[in-house]
Amino acid sequence: MLRPLAVAVAAGLALALAGCADGGAAGDTAGGARVLSVFAAASLTDAFSEIGEVFSSSSPTSSPGVEVRFNFGPSSGLLTQLLEGAPADVYASADEATMDEARAGGAVAERPTAFARNVLALAVPAGNPVRVRGLADLARDELLVGLCAAEVPCGRLARQLLDREAVRVAPDTEEPDVRSLLTKIEAGELDAGLVYRSDVRAGGARVEGIEVPESEEVGTTYPVAPVARAAEPELARAFVAFVVSGEGRRILADHGFLAP
pLDDT digit string (tens) for 86-120? 999 999 999 999 999 999 999 998 999 999 999 99
CB neighbour list of residue 53: distance below 8 Å, 6 or more residues apart: 68
Q: What are the tens digits of pLDDT across the range 13-53?
A: 444 444 443 333 345 554 567 899 999 999 999 999 999 99
Does any domain span residue 226?
Answer: yes
Residue 205 and residue 134 share a domain? yes
Question: Residue 211, SS3?
Answer: strand
Q: What are the tens digits of pLDDT across the range 43-68?
A: 999 999 999 999 998 855 434 589 99
* CA gyration radius, the chain: 19
Q: What are the tens digits of pLDDT across the range 180-232?
A: 999 999 999 999 999 999 999 999 999 999 999 999 999 999 999 999 999 99
Does any domain span residue 259?
Answer: no
Residue 11 and residue 140 share a domain? no
Residue 8 and residue 106 share a domain? yes
Residue 241 and residue 157 share a domain? no
Residue 91 and residue 28 share a domain? yes
Total domains, the chain? 2
Which residue range(s) make up the domain with 247? 4-117+222-254
End-to-end Cα spacing for the chain: 31
Question: Domain holding 204: CATH number?
Answer: 3.40.190.10
Label residue 212 left, alpha or beta by phi (over 0 means left) and psi (-120 to 50 means alpha): beta
pTM: 0.86
Residue 20 and residue 53 share a domain? yes
Residue 150 and residue 71 share a domain? no
* Host H or E run for residue 107: none
- 116: β partners: 222
Residue 153 and residue 181 share a domain? yes
Residue 175 and residue 49 share a domain? no
Does any domain span residue 66?
Answer: yes
CB neighbour list of residue 198: distance below 8 Å, 6 or more residues apart: 43, 46, 47, 118, 255, 256, 257
Does any domain span residue 260?
Answer: no
CA distance 155 to 185: 16
Nearest alpha-carbon partner for 90 in 78, 80, 105, 98: 78
Does any domain span residue 233?
Answer: yes
pLDDT of residue 2: 35
Query: Contact, 118 vs 257, CB < 8 A?
Result: yes
CA distance 206 to 181: 13
Residue 72 and residue 130 share a domain? no
Residue 140 and residue 84 share a domain? no
Query: Contact, 177 vs 73, CB < 8 A?
Result: yes
Label residue 74 left, alpha or beta by phi (over 0 means left) and psi (-120 to 50 means alpha): beta
Residue 172 and residue 212 share a domain? yes
Does any domain span residue 212?
Answer: yes
SS3 per residue for 125-172? ECCCCCCCCCHHHHHCCCCCEEEECCCCHHHHHHHHHHHHCCCCCCCC
